[in-house]
Amino acid sequence: MQRVRAAVMSRPGSIGVKEFPFPELEPRAALVRMVMSGICGTDKHTFEGLTHHAGFQVNFPIIPGHENLSIIEKLGRKEDGWFDGNGVPLKQGDRVAPVPDVRCGECYTCKNFYGWSWCDRISAYGGQLSSRDPPHLFGGWAEYMYLLPKTSLFKVPDGLPDKIAVLTEPMSVAYSSLARALTPYWLVKEGSGPGDSIVIQGSGPIGLTHAAIAKMAGAGKVIMIGDPNERLEVAKQVGVDQTVSIEKYSTPQERVGRVLELTEGRGAELVIECVGSPTAFKEGLEMVSLGGTYLEVGNYVDAGEVSVNPHQILSKCIRIIGVNGNPYQAFGRVLTMMDLNWKHYNLDKLVTHSYNIDSAESALRTTQSLKGIKVVVTPS
């Protein structure tokens, strides 16, 4: 009888391949064959022992992998038919991106917070659902993945290369994040609109997806603060207008000063924290213009407190927006936007390394090294 191979992280620091029984499908569930799965900064944090995430605690043992690209292998019985998150009919063999958060659809949060991934009884692949519980295959670093009823799937446009399609989840993080900041205003300079300056703190994959979506959505000058220089070079290819190297500008004062220089002394209308450290939060507030917006995206894992001055927030009329959540609708919109724009923004430069599940530990080590940008894991 067929067995399914998967990389299992049994505790921080320990990962290796295990075999699981080939699953039976309950009604409304689906089985997908993995094409590839990206490594998120959160996977790295989990491996390093930071297991308190926004919304849940990691339930070891787990099969990591929530940035998934896959092929439909089998669809469970569903009397009202199978459709993707845009209402498009689904069938075996379709290439799909599954949404990693499964919402119950019945709780207060599901009923009222449309379009976000929040749920009072959330199930999430790649960390929150444990591989201890049958049918086990709840992460993308595997040959197959089992999708619970109520999982949203999105069909990938035919011409979109796998290397781009695997970015759907991190791109939709950026989309959901910018949705909250770029919305309000075109004329009254409170908030940020087309043509405004944006600072992105951090040049990792999440910083880069924010840069790409921001440019696709009409941002003006995009300034990225980060390192190493190799990443900043790629940043320019995905549309970043100006880079600020941490190697060169090595103190907060220098970086704040450089941003002010690049924004006529005013700061940027939008600053996005994609570093994930409390001190970046404090530093970033200094870079926001009068009436500007600050998006807190990076501190997805609890890394402690930092002191801030409420008077500063008041004086500059800053808006700080916490961003947790990655709604299924973003998947559909991001696939459309990548399909239209991926060549112009060179999105094929983002996936730089690929490992199979037997080398999952090496894959994680590569992520830690800051070599390259997005590392992916394939089933074989």
- Binders of a copy of itself among residues 272 to 331 (CB under 8 A) are 273, 278, 281, 290-291, 296-325, 327-330
Residues whose CB falls within 8 Å of the CB of residue 174, separated by 6 or more in sequence, listed in order = 206, 209, 210, 212, 213, 214
Which of residues 22 and 83 has its CB atom nearest to a copy of itself in the complex? 83
Beta carbon of residue 225, minimum distance to a copy of itself (angstroms, whole number): 17
Q: Which stretch binds a copy of itself (CB under 8 A): 28-36, 39-47, 179-187, 361-369?
A: 179-187
Of 49, 184, 228, 261, the residue at the interface with a copy of itself (CB under 8 A) is 184
Residues whose CB falls within 8 Å of the CB of residue 237, separated by 6 or more in sequence, listed in order = 345, 346, 349
Which of residues 71 and 104 has its CB atom nearest to a copy of itself in the complex? 104
Beta carbon of residue 367, minimum distance to a copy of itself (angstroms, whole number): 21
Q: Is 227 in the site for a copy of itself (CB under 8 A)?
A: no
Provide the token pair at 325. 């959540």
Whole-angstrom CA distances from 250 to 47, 152, 244, 332 are 28, 43, 10, 39
Beta carbon of residue 121, minimum distance to a copy of itself (angstroms, whole number): 9
Query: Of 327, 332, 328, 2, which Cα lies nearest the Cα of 137?
Result: 2
Q: Is 233 in the site for a copy of itself (CB under 8 A)?
A: no
Q: Is 80 in the site for a copy of itself (CB under 8 A)?
A: yes
Whole-angstrom CA distances from 38 to 84, 141, 155, 305, 377 are 21, 9, 18, 29, 6
Which of residues 36 and 288 has its CB atom nearest to a copy of itself in the complex? 288
Beta carbon of residue 295, minimum distance to a copy of itself (angstroms, whole number): 9
Of 61, 83, 352, 372, the residue at the interface with a copy of itself (CB under 8 A) is 83
Beta carbon of residue 205, minimum distance to a copy of itself (angstroms, whole number): 17
**Site size with a copy of itself, rule: CB under 8 A:** 92
Beta carbon of residue 299, minimum distance to a copy of itself (angstroms, whole number): 4
Report phi then psi at 270, rounded to 5.
-140, 130
Contact criterion met (CB below 8 Å) for 63 and 43: no
Of 112, 133, 158, 380, the residue at the interface with a copy of itself (CB under 8 A) is 112
Q: Is 25 in the site for a copy of itself (CB under 8 A)?
A: no
What DSSP string describes 138-174? -SSSBSEEEE-TT--EEEPPTTS-HHHHTTHHHHHHH
Whole-angstrom CA distances from 232 to 55, 62, 96, 133, 168 are 32, 33, 31, 42, 22
Whole-angstrom CA distances from 292 to 234, 279, 306, 313, 315 are 27, 19, 21, 10, 11
Of 2, 27, 91, 114, the residue at the interface with a copy of itself (CB under 8 A) is 114
Q: Is 77 in the site for a copy of itself (CB under 8 A)?
A: no
Report phi then psi at 249, rounded to 5.
-100, 90
Q: Is 88 in the site for a copy of itself (CB under 8 A)?
A: yes
Which of residues 204 and 332 has its CB atom nearest to a copy of itself in the complex? 332
Beta carbon of residue 120, minimum distance to a copy of itself (angstroms, whole number): 7
Q: What is the β-pairing status of strands 95-98 and 67-75?
A: antiparallel
Give residues 334-353 in contact with a copy of itself (rule: CB under 8 A).
Answer: 336-337, 340
